[in-house]
Structure 1
């Protein structure tokens, strides 16, 4: 701790703890001990330690458990806005992704799906609905629609890897996507699936993906837990 710095001590401590969590030094499930023990060990006041811990609880990096103490939870997934599968991003970040298939069927496209895929309403499309977890915790509810005969992959293969990896393996060249990010309150069924309370805020993402010929190959409509997930944007200044 730099006591000569204008940066508050609680903020310095919070930054050091966050770096240790995100760097894997403090593994998920680790106990920090109580505020008195931490304050004594670090030579800080108890209010300073309490404020640092509270800021990390608010970020979803720590959780206070009655009878257990302050415990490290899994760090928030920060995903760059790139044309990649969530599964691959999680795997690359060491987040141990897993997938539960909720639906895999061919059905007539409703008006929303038909407009997104650029096909007549009622056209047969393949609907994939999945629950994606990281370290065993629910992270995202993924719903995708594809042209019915675009991808020949069974539920087992879909559960074991990312959708875009399967599309590329099928010979498709993914070129670009149009994506919208928003937020809304969780409906009761969505909340139960994602381990949130009804009405809790959820991140939303809709994406329409095009191949190298300009054909729409996928329409995704996804829900994410904001306590476990965020999008990262890179902004460039105009010259």
Structure 2
């Protein structure tokens, strides 16, 4: 941080709050690559002394950057610059393919792969009878070795019969295409909620951390529902992007 200290200038005569001056300049250093992902920062006491700021001011600056997803705090590790966020267009594509296209290294841990009777919500989404068999796939997706998302997919029985090894090696949509199923349209809803304890542990987030949510029903060319997905993503490392046009 000694080199960084020379790049951050605090103007005490400025009407801009001191915490925001520091946070904004540190953010620029992170986004410009001066502080690459994984960089560990000194603790708040040391930083406050180094920049001549009070501990509450420095704490507010750090919290501001943590909330923006630029820094992360881990017990026993301290404060670190997070890896770059994955930015995903809201289009009909798989996360596996999106990561590959973005130059990231996708990885998958298959948590469960089994046939279950469809509940009310799943049956309605897939337009099947309640109690009909569906293939349920639960996976933990990684990007560059870091957990990124929990994926749960439901497919009508008989559509495909993948192995855990196949699901670990490639994306679900690739396997569907290989079986002759082309996904053409989808209905998708994006939201946010707090992580459960189990989700936080798998995603290496703090308990109650904010997660992005996505539910999707994908259809084939005949309009038949092929897949119903309910996914959660780390808000600190993931965002959705979309292009809109004026009427």
Cα 1:187–1:63 shift into 2, 3 Å: closer
Structure 1 residue 228: Cα displacement: 1.4
CA–CA distance in structure 2, aligned partners of residues 90 and 116 of structure 1: 27
Structure 2 residues without counterparts, runs of 5 or longer: 1-6, 10-15
Q: Aligned residue for 2:121?
A: 112
SS in 1 for 2:123: helix
CA–CA distance in structure 2, aligned partners of residues 209 and 187 of structure 1: 26
**Alignment coverage as a number of residue pairs:** 231
Q: Aligned residue for 1:188?
A: 197
Structure 1 residue 54: Cα displacement: 6.1
Q: What does 1:11-90 correspond to in 2, within 5 Å?
A: 13-14=25-26, 16-21=28-33, 26-31=35-40, 55-63=64-72, 71-90=80-99
CA–CA distance in structure 2, aligned partners of residues 139 and 169 of structure 1: 26
Q: Aligned residue for 2:214?
A: 205
Structure 1 residue 165: Cα displacement: 1.5
| Maintained 8 Å contact 1:60/1:75 | no
Cα 1:107–1:13 shift into 2, 3 Å: same
CA–CA distance in structure 2, aligned partners of residues 34 and 196 of structure 1: 20
Deviates more, 1:56-65 or 1:73-82: 56-65
Structure 1 residue 230: Cα displacement: 1.4
TM-score (norm 2): 0.77
Structure 1 residue 202: Cα displacement: 1.8
Structure 1 residues without counterparts, runs of 5 or longer: none
Give deviations 1:100-147, integer Å, cap 9, x for gaps. Answer: 111101111111111000001111111000111222222111100011
